[in-house]
């Protein structure tokens, strides 16, 4: 399957008109990588997907990958509980949004994320297969996804297990590349790739996590 699909190839340029961004192109790597961006209250996923989906497939929370679960999650929590939309308005709006958004997610090859579930193994399997095919992936690891400040909070580090799985299959280390997002100046650029060394996996995981956080802290 060629990614992104025709849906995104048609809709993407139109949607990008509403989210203009000077997005740096990734160069200098001869292997696929993992792009890491903060959520920034969904600004990170929206902008990175719109500008980098030609090169990378994003991890997306699994309810957003199917129409029924997308509508249930957005209607039962996001729109009515978090954003306090009245139900009579949220319902028709989300029916339209569901019909448009889920096919778009599938068009750019989203990888469903099953947090805290045994199905997380499927997330990693799809991710490694995607990387082995030569396509990069995008992950948003910050725990407080609603934060919209420059300060960097805690991040999940389970995604770093991709290094072990990818190395076992390919014999190569997997670069993790922080993405910096400046919404005020409408700019995105890449940090230095973080690559595991030859020490113990536990030590290298800690070093990699600290290196990723350090780059984000330097830009905050």
d(CA 156, CA 172): 23
- Distance CA(219)–CA(44), nearest Å, equals 15
Please give the pLDDT value at position 96: 94
Residue 189: pLDDT band with limits 50, 70, 90: very high
Quote the DSSP letter at residue 182: E
Model confidence over 119-163: pLDDT tens digits? 889 999 999 999 999 999 999 998 766 655 555 667 888 999 999
pLDDT, position 41: 78
Average pLDDT over residues 8-30: 86
> Which pLDDT score, from 0 to 100, does residue 153 have?
63
Instruction: Give one DSSP letter per residue of 97-112, joined into a string.
Output: HHHHHHHHHHHTT-EE
3-state secondary structure of 56: strand
How many helices and strands, by DSSP H and E, does the chain display?
7, 7
- Give the pLDDT score at 82: 87
If we measure between CA atoms, which residue out of 119, 208, 107 comes closest to residue 163?
208
The pLDDT value recorded for residue 151 is: 56
Q: In sequence order, what are the residues at sequence separation of 6 or more whose Cβ sits closer than 8 angstroms to the Cβ of residue 195?
A: 173, 174, 175, 176
Q: Where residue 219 falls among pLDDT bands split at 50, 70, 90?
A: low
Q: What is the residue extent of each domain of the chain?
A: 6-219
Q: What is the pLDDT of residue 216?
A: 86
- Any idea of the CA torsion for 90, 95, 100, 103, to the nearest 10 degrees? 120
Degrees to nearest 5, angle at CA 88 with 82 and 93? 75
pLDDT at 220 over 70: no
Helix (H, G, I), strand (E, B) or coil at 188: strand
From residue 26, give the alpha-carbon distance in Å to each of 17, 55, 92, 118, 215: 21, 9, 39, 33, 17
pLDDT of residue 29: 76
Nearest-angstrom CA–CA distance, 19 and 86 = 27
- Give 23-74 pLDDT, tens digit per residue: 988 776 778 999 999 888 788 889 999 999 888 999 999 988 899 999 999 9
pLDDT beyond 60 at 22: yes
What does the pLDDT read at residue 178?
A: 94
Strand 187-190 and strand 111-113: the pairing is unpaired
- Per-residue confidence (pLDDT) for residue 92, from 0 to 100: 94
> What are the two backbone dihedrals, phi and then psi, of residue 32, each rounded to the nearest 5 degrees?
-65, 160
Residue 20: pLDDT over 60: yes
pLDDT of residue 149: 56
Model confidence pLDDT, tens digit, residues 74-115: 999 889 998 899 999 999 999 999 999 899 888 988 999 987
> What pairs with residue 176 in β-bridges?
34, 194
């Amino acid at each position: 399957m060629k990614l992104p699909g025709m849906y995104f190839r048609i809709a993407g340029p139109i949607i990008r008109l509403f989210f203009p961004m000077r997005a740096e192109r990734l160069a200098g790597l001869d292997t696929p990588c993992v792009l890491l961006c903060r959520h920034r209250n969904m600004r990170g996923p929206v902008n990175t997907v719109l500008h980098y989906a030609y090169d990378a497939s994003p991890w997306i929370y699994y309810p957003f990958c199917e129409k029924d679960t997308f509508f249930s999650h957005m209607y039962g929590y996001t729109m009515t509980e978090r954003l306090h939309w009245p139900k009579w308005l949220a319902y028709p709006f989300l029916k339209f949004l569901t019909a448009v958004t889920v096919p778009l997610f599938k068009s750019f090859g989203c990888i469903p994320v099953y947090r805290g579930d045994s199905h997380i193994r499927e997330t990693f399997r799809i991710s490694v297969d995607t990387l082995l095919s030569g396509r990069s992936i995008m992950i948003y690891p910050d725990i407080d996804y609603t934060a919209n400040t420059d300060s960097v909070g805690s991040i999940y580090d389970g995604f770093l297990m991709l290094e072990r799985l990818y190395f076992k299959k390919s014999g190569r280390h997997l670069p993790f590349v922080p993405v910096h997002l400046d919404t005020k100046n409408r700019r995105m650029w890449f940090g230095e790739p973080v690559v595991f060394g030859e020490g113990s996996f536990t030590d290298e995981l800690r070093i990699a996590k600290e290196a990723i956080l350090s780059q984000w802290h330097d830009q905050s």
